[in-house]
């Protein structure tokens, strides 16, 4: 089984929060992942606005899968996260999409940039951030 197949299986079967949110792993390549989540009432706070942390959760899922595609067979735990909530996610968006891309790797870490965007055609950024994941010691490069 390829690394992509392993991670796709893991996402579908071993990520209960992603399953509960209705998340779909749309694209997965080395250093890149895209996850989409439908907006449902359970994600909302007042005034038809999605709770701000939801964008960060979706970004984290996309980020970790992009980072894990850089590893042979390990999980990449997050070390640091920095996020900006640029626009509210609204009920009328219908769906949000997190696009994550690895921007730097080192012997001890993997850095990923993530944007969470609204639906087509506007695709305006709702949440933007950077996540640094630890490279497990078993995967450290010389």
Domains observed in the chain = 3-139 (3.10.129.10)
Model confidence at 139, pLDDT cuts 50, 70, 90, reads: low
Residue entry with tokens 């439908």: 38
State residue 141's pLDDT score: 54
CA 80 – CA 19 distance, rounded (Å): 25
Report the predicted TM-score, pTM, of the whole model to 2 decimal places. Answer: 0.92
State residue 117's pLDDT score: 95
**pLDDT one-digit tens code per residue, 27-73:** 999 999 999 999 998 888 888 899 989 999 999 999 999 999 999 88
Burial class (CB in 10 A: 0-12, 13-18, 19+), 45: exposed
- H-helix or E-strand containing 58? helix 52-68
Give residue 64's Cα distance to chain centre.
6
State residue 142's pLDDT score: 46
């Amino acid at each position: 089984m390829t690394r992509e197949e392993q991670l796709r299986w893991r996402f579908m079967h071993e990520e209960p929060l992603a399953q509960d949110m209705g998340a779909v792993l749309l694209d997965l390549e080395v250093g890149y992942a895209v996850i989409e989540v439908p907006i449902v009432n359970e994600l909302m706070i007042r005034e038809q606005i999605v709770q701000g942390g939801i964008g960060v959760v979706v970004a984290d899922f996309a980020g970790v899968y992009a980072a894990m595609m850089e590893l042979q067979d390990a999980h990449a735990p997050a070390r640091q996260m920095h996020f900006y909530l640029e626009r509210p996610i609204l009920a009328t968006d219908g769906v949000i999409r997190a696009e994550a891309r690895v921007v730097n790797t080192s012997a001890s870490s993997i850095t990923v940039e993530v944007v969470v965007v609204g639906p087509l055609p506007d695709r305006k950024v709702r949440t933007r951030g950077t996540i640094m994941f630890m490279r497990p010691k078993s995967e450290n490069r010389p």
